[in-house]
Each structure stands twice: as structure tokens, then as C-alpha cells.
Amino acid sequence: MSRILLVSANLTLEPYPVLPLGMAVVAGSLADRGHRVEQFDFLAEGASEAAFTDRVRACAPDFLGISLRNLDSCDSLARTDYPAVARRLVELARACTSAPIILGGSAFSILPEEILAYTGADYGVAGEGEGVAADLVEALAAGRAAPRISRAPGPAAAMAAPRFDGAIVRFYQEASGLLSLQTKRGCSHRCVYCNYPALEGATHRARDPRLVVDDLQEAHARFGQREFFIADAVFNDAAGQHMEVVEELARRALPIRWSCYMRPSLIREADLRLMGRAGLRAAELGTDATTDATLLGLGKGFTFQEAVEANGLFAACRIPCAHFVMFGGPGETEATVAEGLANLDRLASTAVFAFSGIRILPGTALHRLALQEGRVGAGDGLREPAYYHAAGLDPGAMEARIEAAFKGRRDRFFPPERGRERMAALRAMGFRGLIWDSLIRHPGQETPPC
């Protein structure tokens, strides 16, 4: 049995502080294998380097695991560098422990070789980490040789339940009011910019709905938690597996509410109304583009009219929804920008968050297109963010046009920093959860607070 300290290096507060679910899942799988596991959240400890080194010394771990959730903010107008945080933690850890340092997390899995070299850590786990992390720890503890980067051989047959740390949960209850869970992993869609299929697999793998709701029920009983975010890449799948979770939630009638990411297609009103009765509070829609031409360029597989119809269903069911859209992707022109802004006016009783350009991630179809067009070089590691803007566009002029179209709208957000400021102001007023849902007004409701 080894003593293991797991550390979440995430520091971003946007769009809201997010509990490190991956770390909790790996902690559960390691504990199930008999290891003694502690969890440390750098964000929850105020990004205090002293608190981090004190915890490392107090734990005296045999192995130190650091989870890296984000490469950057994916906002072309506000650059960030989260691997630098992990690099600093490795540097601090070296001064107070000789334990092997193992990196993991979704951001590490995107660029494992580059980040391992950049941070100076000893080992890394790429992909789903539950079984691989335990295998690596046990091999090293037994004195067996192990590769510097261990990769999951494929999508896991079963997903471990998270093991929540009470102190970390209390921080997120105060900071955001939300805890996260997954009902399934994987994504069968083929959006050109997205690496979820590479990270989690290209098919949906659902957990037993009863186990999912057991986890929700336990978190409510243990921590008094009432608000959850379902962190599936996309909650609503074509096979309808998501409705099995909804039906189980409706059957148990738990006193909780939940939100999720949804795809704005194949949404039925009867299903949405059942979701509402089962506690659905709000949904964030991956609409991603604003015209049929740009939706096609992103490989979305639906039309803008479908997004309009989905928005209408949410409004009819009085469930807040928000659309997240990116301007400047493949197929974008001055004409589609104008058309897209007009299309967004068709979306009533909703929030819209807009972004300029699309982060190029390695191995995606957008990366291949950017290579073909000479936007990036074959040797570019992409740890430093590169953004795709369609040829012939003037990004500055496009951004000015979006900002002018959104001016004076409390339910439209661009540039992204403006949305962050608005959400921070509402958070300071005591709002918790998604926060943007408090800005949505349906006919007959009172004026939103801000």
C-alpha cells in the first residue's frame, strides 16, 4: 500500500469554480486498490505555495500526482498559461519531497510529451487515469520499470465513482454552489475543433443510471448538496441513454437540481418536460456557430433552425438555456458574420456567449486544416495557444461588429471578459451556480436582477 497525495493545479474561476472531478475519481480508484490517498486543491487553498509545501511535508507521500485540467482559457482575447502553474508546483515539490511526481488530467493528455518535458515531472498518465494510475504506482512501488508516459489502452469498461474530499467540497459549495458528476464518457460527434473523442473515446459509454443517482443521493445526504452539474461531453445522446438517468431521477424525486451540456438537436418536448420534473435547472447548448454554412464548416451535423427550435422548447418549458458560439471558424465570411448576428436575434429568452476564433488543438480536423493552410507548422507543439480565423476575415473588425450587436443586451456576452465581469459581480452579490440563468426572463416572469 502506498501513500499518495493528489493535487489539482487548476486555478481558473471561469465560467465558475469547478470541482476537480477527475482527481476525485482517480482518488476513488486508488483507494479501492488499497492505497492511502489524500487530495489537495490548489485553488481551494487560495493558490498558496506555503499551503502546498506544508501539505506535501505533512503527507510525506510515496507518490505525488498533479492533475492539469486546462491548457488555457480558449479565449483568443485573454491569453493564459496553466501548464506554468503545474511547472511551479513541480519545482516547489522537488524542494520538500523525493517522491516521484506523476502528471495527469485532460490538459496533460492533450500534449503529454510536451508538458512532461516542460514541467520536469517524472511520469505522466495520459487518458482515463483510474486503472492506469494505480498500475503505474504499483509497478514503481515494486521496483519495476515503467514508461515515463503511461497511456490508457482504450476506453475503460467501467467508470469508478468519485471519492469526494469534504474540505474540497465545502470550498466549492461556497465558491460556486455546484458539484460535478458524469453519467457517461465519450462523444460520437465529429466537431472539427474538439478533442473529446480522443480523450474519452468516440462512442458513448454510460454508467448504470442507478449508480449515478446513488452518487447524487449520497452527495446530498453527506454534504447537503442540492445543485449539480452533469459534466458529460454531451448529456443528450441519440440512443436515449440520458433519459434512463432522467427517469431514475424522476422516480426517486430527490430534492436536487442539475444542469448539463446539451446538443441543440434531437430534443423532444416530452423529454425536456420530464427533465424539468426530474430537476433540470438549466442547460448550456453547444450551438457553436450561427449559420448553416459555419455549422457545416465545424462539422456540427445540425442546422441553425434546429437550434432555434430547441431554444423555443426550452422557453416553452421555462427552463433557462444558453448558447455558446464561435465566430471566425472554417467557412466564416463577412456575410456569414452579418447573417449569424441576425440569426442570434431569433433566439429569445436565452443567453448567448460569443468567442472570436477557435483554439487549435493537436490531432483534430481543425489542426489538419490549419496545417494545410499554413496557419501552424508541423513542428509547432501548440502548448502556446494558436487560434483559427478564416482566411479573408479581419478579426478586429469582426469583433467590433459583434460587440456593437450585443451592446446594451444583458443576455449577450462579448468579449468573453465582459461575461466574466458580469458573472463575478453576480457572484459577489451572493448568486451561486451557473449564474447566467438568473439573467433569463421568460414571459410573465419578473425582470432579472442584473
Average pLDDT over residues 166-189: 95
Residue 272 is placed in which grid cell?
Answer: 425536456
Buried b (16+ CB within 10 A) or exposed e, 55-90: bbeebebbbbbbbbbbbbbbbbeeebebbebbbbbb
Domain boundaries, the chain: 3-151, 177-439
Whether 448 has a pLDDT exceeding 60, the answer reads no
Cα–Cα distance measured from residue 267 to residue 262, given in angstroms and rounded to the nearest whole number: 9
Contact 175, 22 (CB under 8 A): no
Question: What percentage of the chain reaches a pLDDT higher than 70?
Answer: 98
Domain 177-439, what architecture? Answer: Alpha-Beta Horseshoe (3.80)
Rounded to the nearest 5 degrees, what angle is found at the Cα of 111, between the Cα atoms of 106 and 117?
120
pLDDT at site 255: 97
pLDDT for residue 366: 97
What pLDDT digit, counting tens, does each position of 341-389 carry? Answer: 999 999 999 999 999 999 999 999 999 999 999 999 998 889 999 999 9
| Helix residue ranges per DSSP H, 332-439 | 334-344, 365-372, 395-406, 416-428
- CA dihedral sign of residues 85, 365, 305, 399: positive
Per-residue pLDDT tens for 182-238?
Answer: 999 999 999 999 998 888 888 888 999 999 999 999 999 999 999 999 999 999 999
Q: What is the pLDDT of residue 68?
A: 97
How far is CA 293 from each of CA 219, 382, 392, 395, rounded to the nearest angstrom? Answer: 44, 27, 16, 18
Residues 113-162 pLDDT 10s = 999 999 999 999 999 888 899 999 999 999 999 999 999 887 766 788 89
Tell me how crowded residue 5 is: count the other CB atoms within 10 A of its CB. 24
Across the range 243-252, mean pLDDT stands at 98
Q: What is the pLDDT of residue 449?
A: 42
pLDDT at 309 over 80: yes
Inform me whether the pLDDT recorded for 169 exceeds 90: yes
What's the sign of the alpha-carbon dihedral 266, 268, 274, 279? positive
Q: Coil, helix or strand for 81?
A: coil
- Reading the block at residue 248, the C-alpha cell is 431514475
Domains 3-151 and 177-439 share a fold: no
Backbone angles phi, psi at 188, to 5 degrees: -90, 0
Confidence category of residue 425, pLDDT binned at 50, 70, 90: confident
> Residue 446: which pLDDT band, with cuts at 50, 70 and 90?
low
> Given pLDDT bands bounded at 50, 70 and 90, which one contains residue 178?
very high
pLDDT in tens, 62-73: 999 999 999 988
Q: Which pLDDT score is estimated for 152?
A: 84
Length of the chain: 450
**Res 77 pLDDT > 90:** no
Q: What is the mean pLDDT of the chain?
A: 94
- The pLDDT of residue 450 is 41
Class of domain 3-151: alpha beta
Write the DSSP assignment of 9-60 as a string of letters.
-----SSS----HHHHHHHHHHHHTT-EEEEEETTTTTT-HHHHHHHHHHH-
